[in-house]
Amino acid sequence: MPMVSCGRAPHLVEYDNETNLNARSAPLVVVGVTDSDTSIGRTVPSRRDPNYPMLLHRVRIQIENVLRGSVRGRTLFAYYFGFAGGINGPRPLGFWGTPSRHILWLRQDSDAMRLACDGWDYCTMPVMSGAHPDDKRDPTQPLDSALSDILLTRGDGKIDDLRFASEITWGTPDQGVQGHVIEKLRHLALTERAPVKGSACQQLWIYTRDRISVDLQQEARDSLDAGHCVCKSEEPVCH
C-alpha cells in the first residue's frame, strides 16, 4: 500500500522509453484532482538526448476514486520529469490547469510515488464528466470497465458540456468491454442533450462499423435507434 507523504525530494532517474510505453500496466490507477504542480531543482539531461533538458516536478493529487491497487489517505504527492525545452509532438505531461481532474497511472519508485511516465503524457486521462463520489470499484471487472464508468457517466459538480462531449469523442478504452461501453453510450444518447448526446451517438455509429462481433454491432444500431440518433455522412455529425 503506497505511502502518500511528500517529504524531501527523492533522487529519481527519468524513465526509459520501454517503461514509458508500458505506463498503462502500472499497479496503481486513481481518479484525482491535481491542485498543484511544482518544479524541483535544476534541469538534468534527458536520457534520450543529453543535450535536451528535463525538469523534475512534484504534483499534489486529491484522490477521489481508486480504480486499481490501494492507497492510504486521500492526498498523494507524485513526481514526474517534464520537458524543460521546446517540444513538438503529442501532449506532454504537465499541460493541465490546476485544479483539474484526471485518471492517473502511478508506480512506486523506492520511497517515492511517481507518475507512470515521463515527458510525453502516456499515463493520464482528463476527466470532464465531473466527480463520482458514489462510484464503487468492482475488483472482478476489467480496468477498462471502471474507466468507462468514470468517463461516460455524468457526475457531480459543475460540468462543461462541450468538454464532456469532447471527452466522449476522444474515445474510451474498451478492451473486452465493448458491450458495457455501448450500454453507457446508449444511456447518454437517451438522457443527454446536445452536444453530449451528439458525441454519444457518434461513438455508437462508429461501433456499428467497428471490427467487433455482429451481435455488438447490432446492439450499437439498436442503441442509435433507441436514442433517436441522426448521423449524416461517412464522417458522421450526429445529433
Asked if 127 contacts 151 with a C-beta cutoff of 8 angstroms, the reply is yes
Report the C-alpha gap between 174 and 184 in whole angstroms. 11
Average pLDDT across the chain, whole number: 92
Q: What length is written for the chain?
A: 239
- AA identity, residue 79: Y
More confidently predicted of 97 and 114:
114
Residue 65 pairs with which residues in a beta bridge? Answer: 31
Residue ranges of domains in the chain? 1-126, 132-239
Asked if 10 contacts 110 with a C-beta cutoff of 8 angstroms, the reply is yes
Report the C-alpha gap between 221 and 209 in whole angstroms. 10
Which has the closest alpha carbon to 115: 209, 14, 205?
14
- Looking at CATH, the fold of the domain delimited by 132-239 is given as Transcription Elongation Factor S-II; Chain A (1.20.930)
What are the pLDDT digits (tens) for 177-224? Answer: 999 999 999 999 999 999 999 999 999 999 999 999 999 999 999 999
| Residue 99 CB contacts under 8 Å (≥ 6 apart), including other chains | 33, 34, 35, 62
Do 1-126 and 132-239 agree at the fold level?
no
Residue 236 has a pLDDT of 65
Q: Which class is 1-126 in CATH?
A: mainly beta
The answer on pLDDT for 3 being more than 50 is no
Residue 98 has a pLDDT of 82
All three cell numbers of 120, joined, read 510525453
Asked if 151 contacts 130 with a C-beta cutoff of 8 angstroms, the reply is no
Question: Does the pTM exceed 0.85?
Answer: yes
